[in-house]
Chain A
Amino acid sequence: MRKNRTRARKPAATPRPPQMRAESPAVAAPPRLATLDVHRHVISVLVDNEAGVLARVIGMVAARGYNIESLTVAEVDPARNLSRINILTAGTRRIIEQIKAQLGRLIPVHEVRDLTEEGPSVARELALVKVAGTGDKRNEALRIGDIFRSNVVDSTVESFVFEIVGNSQKIDAFIDLMRPLGLLEISRTGIAAIARGTGGLRPHA
């Protein structure tokens, strides 16, 4: 189990170089993109909060066959009518670049950022986990809940609902431990993610 709660998943080693730099040789791009290694990326998208914008994103992803592990969306700036979409996806470098480019050409999109590639970032997810049991199992569930610093947000004599916040791996681990203890039901939010430091997503001026 991870002790260090403040660190998110290890960020990508180096920030991505801009697409074209004068000093880079002309042949730099293909080998980088040609790799078939599959990596997870967190992509954040700032969009106009208009009807159907989520359907546009999801429709594009489905039509082009990209793989999405989680997607969250919520309004983040009511005054300017902006929503933020966080997408957790997995793919080769080339696919990830395609996803970003395809997102970028949707008309209501202000900005697309690859948090995994661009530097350190934090990603968090919330889960509600219902566990039912009595006796030792019930006590053990409560103990593990404590270790993971979860909150009990509902309790009956036979069940708990735990509220747990953390990175996705932590939640996975928590759920795995609860499985033999009477795990009944899980509700997860998908990730919210943000870059560390002062940088971040900004709408066009």
Chain B
Amino acid sequence: MSKQKFSGAHLVLKALEDQGVDVLFGYPGGAVLPLYDELFKQNRIRHVLVRHEQAAVHAAEGYARSTGKVGCVLVTSGPGATNAVTGLTDALMDSIPIVCFTGQVPTSLIGSDAFQEADTIGITRACTKHNYLVKDVRDLPRIIHEAFYVARSGRPGPVVIDIPKDVALALGSYTAPPRDIPSAQHKTYRPRTVPDMAAVRMAVDLMAEAERPLFYTGGGVINAGPEASELLRELVELTGFPITSTLMGLGAYPAAGRAWLGMVGMHGLYEANLAMHDCDVMINIGARFDDRVTGRLDAFSPGSQKIHVDIDPSQINKNVLVDVPVVGDCAETLRLMIEEWNSRPRRRDTGALKAWWAKIEEWRERDCLGFEQRGATIKPQQAVQRLYELTKRSNAIVTTEVGQHQMWAAQFYRFQEPNKWLTSGGLGTMGYGLPAAIGAQIAHPDALVIDIAGEASILMNIQELSTAVQHRAPVKVFILNNQYMGMVRQWQELMHGGRYSQSYSEALPDFVKLAEAFGCTGLRVSDPAKLDETIGKMMATDGPVIVDVHVDPTENCFPMIPSGKPHNEMMLSATDEGFANVTAEGRALV
């Protein structure tokens, strides 16, 4: 065996190559200079220089979410690491596989409050799935391979590897990754992927007897790979059950599919929320009963028996007590559910299911997303709807920032495939969309990548336009500019007596000039009649484009389940009296 010695920095690059990494998103600094020196000497791994470390992580998330691979980040010690914290927390909340290398001051200086020293391991312990401080170069290759295994296995998540500068310079020998680390080989971390067959049978028992069944699926299906989405479609087709999804799960089942009810939750569709409330068997696949979905917990789907498929046992019975827990990978579980379903005699009586569908059709007739496009102002819903119609044949990847525009994107952009929808669901990070779009674009150079943004959110990471230009990532930023932090304004209107405290976007930049200043193209539209033409121009323009779409500043996002309310007390408009009687307890919720 060759025991050739390499520097720690070189070992990192060797390990990355063996892990199949082709792109690193990062920003250099003193403590990572040895790593950047090694990067300079090779051309197999591409480095995408961001303009802020938070954006490096979001870009890696965009890369990971759109490819299914692990996203990689390289940042320096101290501020480099602390800037990455928001991105890491975002990835943890949304279960995105990330490996983030942070530089650290040399081991001899750790604990001395050295220049650009931060307790990265301590700070990121709470916002990573796991983290490592590498104190000895001999451990480096093993730790890197293990980190990739941890990041992508079980419930995916971010992993930090903190490398002191002296370790990056020290000499050590390389160990290749174990050819395949089946989970049984890791010392301690062995997530269960194949579910207990008895649990699957019990789940199918419930499904077979259900009169008002409903699939409620989440980001876990996306994380389980495209195959899981295929299997989900097959199972929905076989059973004929209606299906709704969380924000994170959009695209696993096509919006054009006949069983699709639309998104569930606080800004979910009327029919989806009422179906959640009234179903008798809920089949949760890869979702976590998040508070955005459940609304008031003690009134959440009171009459249903609940099946919960999740790869992370700690999600079972966390927020909602379930009747049939199934711990396993979504794809594996769906495959077994299909087998089990097919092994049984065909259901004789489909009357109940027909009646359930009839009820759902009644709810659908409310047309809860209805809006009126009139006058000289563009409605934000209209903007997203037209964007969808004009880009749907381009198989676009869509990212968002956070707020009203995000919800309108989820409601009106109809996702037909998994891995095309990248949004910050759990953490709700304004500033996510642009760097995530760049990450997705780097992974898919020929794809149409659109960041549906708000004028407030986009300013949180606007510096990344520079990254987009440098790396020739022709992302399209579609700003729904209503001159407000719209969701904050909406809550202030509906629940704080219209006192718009600090939510007006004062002193906005001229987005067209801003785009031009960065070397991008800037477009502006405020006339509804010119909307289609502008979107067409956006698509036809090479390179990054900002479209500043001036929309109705007072439009609210509906339906809405006010905080502390159950699904069946959804509001469809601001005049709904439900907002007047939000309890003090509800007001305290976010």
Q: Is the CB–CB distance between B206 and A98 below 8 Å? A: no
Type the 1/0 row for B144-188, where 1 means its CB is closer than 8 Å to any CB of A. 000000100001000000000000000000000000000000011
Contact partner of A29 among B150, B188, B322, CB < 8 A?
A: B322
Is there a chain A Cβ closer than 8 Å to B537's Cβ?
no
A53 to B390, CA, bound (A): 53
- Given A20-B196, A104-B313, A105-B312: A29 touches B318 (CB 8 Å cut-off): no
At the interface with chain A, which of B38-46, B118-126, B503-511?
A: B118-126
Closest to B202 in A: A26
CB atoms of A33 and B317 under 8 A apart: yes
Selected from A21, A52, A107, the residue in CB contact (under 8 A) with B121 is A52
User: Shortest CB–CB separation between residue A83 and chain B, in angstroms?
Assistant: 12
Q: A98-B314, A107-B129, A110-B188 are in contact. Are A30 and B322 (CB under 8 A)?
A: yes
CA distance A33 to B321 in the complex (A): 8
**Distance of A47 Cα from B323 Cα, bound (Å):** 31
A1, CB-defined interface residue at 8 Å: no
B249, CB-defined interface residue at 8 Å: no
CA distance A173 to B205 in the complex (A): 54
- B133 close to A (CB within 8 Å): yes
Q: For residue B313, which residues in chain A have a CB less than 8 angstroms away from its CB?
A: 101, 104-105
Q: With an 8 A cutoff between CB atoms, is A13 at the interface? A: no
Q: Report the separation of the CA atoms of residues A33 and B323 in the bound assembly, to the nearest whole angstrom.
A: 11
Which residues between 57 and 105 of chain A lie within 8 Å of chain B, taking CB atoms?
A: 59, 63, 94, 97-98, 101-102, 104-105
**Residues B187 and A204 in contact, CB atoms below 8 Å apart:** yes
Task: Kindly report which residue of chain B lies nearest to residue A28, judged by CB atoms.
Answer: B323
Q: Are B129 and A26 in contact (CB under 8 A)?
A: no
B325→A102 contact, CB < 8 A: no
B188 contact from A30, A98, A107, Cβ within 8 A: A107
List chain B residues, Cβ under 8 A from A20. Answer: 196, 198-199, 202, 324-325
Residue B301, interface by CB 8 Å? no
Place the interface of chain A in its size category.
20 to 34
Q: How distant is A4 from chain B, measured CB to nearest CB, in Å?
A: 37
Number of B interface residues in the complex (CB < 8 A): 33
What residues of A have a CB within 8 angstroms of the CB of B233 in the complex? none
Contact A59 B125 (CB under 8 A): yes
For residues 291 through 333 of chain B, which have their beta carbon under 8 Å from a beta carbon of chain A?
305, 312-314, 316-318, 321-325
B14 beta carbon closer than 8 Å to chain A: no
User: A104-B314, A105-B312 are contacts. A27–B323 as well, Cβ < 8 Å?
Assistant: yes
In the complex with contacts A52-B125, A107-B188, A108-B188, A29-B317 CB distance below 8 A: yes
Q: Is the CB of A48 within 8 A of B125?
A: no
- Whole-angstrom CA separation of A19 from B206 in the bound complex: 18
A23-65 contact mask (Cβ, 8 Å, vs B): 1 or 0: 0001101100110000000000001100110011001000100
Of residues 179 to 231 in B, which have CB atoms within 8 Å of A's CB atoms? Answer: 187-190, 196, 198-199, 201-202, 205-206
> Which residues does chain B contribute within 8 Å of A109, judged by CB atoms?
188
Decide yes or no whether B130 CB sits under 8 A from chain A.
Answer: yes
Expressed in whole angstroms, the Cα–Cα distance for A203 and B312 within the complex equals 21
Contact between B321 and A94, CB atoms less than 8 A apart: yes
Taking CB atoms, residues of chain B closer than 8 Å to A102 are: 314
How far, in whole Å, are A22 and B150 apart by their CA atoms in the complex?
32
Residue in A19, A48, A51, A55 whose Cβ sees the most chain B Cβ within 10 Å: A19
Within 8 A of A (CB), among B90-135: 121-122, 125-126, 129-130, 133, 135
Bound-complex Cα distance A19 to B305 (A)? 17
Is the pair B316, A204 in contact by a Cβ cutoff of 8 Å? Answer: no
Question: Is A19 touching B325 in the complex (CB atoms < 8 A)?
Answer: yes
| Contact B325 A29, beta carbon cutoff 8 Å | yes
Which one, B135, B314, B323, contacts A105 given CB within 8 A?
A: B314
**Contact assessment for B317 and A107 in the assembled complex, using a CB-CB cutoff below 8 Å:** no
Q: Are A27 and B305 in contact (CB under 8 A)?
A: yes
> Inside 8 A of B202's CB, which chain A residues have their CB?
20, 26
A110 to B189, CA, bound (A): 8
A55 x B314 contact (CB < 8 A): no
In the complex, what residues of A have CB within 8 A of residue B196's CB? 20
Q: CB < 8 Å: which of A26, A34, A59, A104 contacts B321?
A: A34
Q: Could you tell me if A48 and B322 are in contact, using CB atoms closer than 8 angstroms?
A: no
* Given contacts A22-B198, A105-B313, A204 and B323 within 8 Å (CB-CB): no
Chain A hits for B205, CB < 8 A: 26
Give, as a whole number of angstroms, the nearest-CB distance from A53 to chain B.
11
Q: List 22 A-B contacts (CB under 8 A).
A: A19-B325, A20-B324, A22-B201, A26-B205, A26-B206, A26-B305, A26-B323, A29-B317, A29-B325, A33-B317, A33-B321, A51-B133, A51-B135, A52-B133, A94-B321, A98-B317, A104-B313, A105-B312, A107-B129, A107-B189, A108-B188, A110-B187
Further pairs besides A26-B324, A33-B321: 10, Cβ < 8 Å: A26-B205, A29-B317, A34-B321, A48-B187, A51-B133, A56-B125, A97-B317, A105-B313, A107-B150, A203-B187
Q: Lowest 10 A-B CB distances belong to which pairs?
A: A101-B314, A30-B321, A107-B130, A22-B198, A20-B199, A107-B189, A101-B313, A26-B323, A110-B188, A102-B314
Residues of B within 8 A of A (CB): 121-122, 125-126, 129-130, 133, 135, 150, 155, 187-190, 196, 198-199, 201-202, 205-206, 305, 312-314, 316-318, 321-325
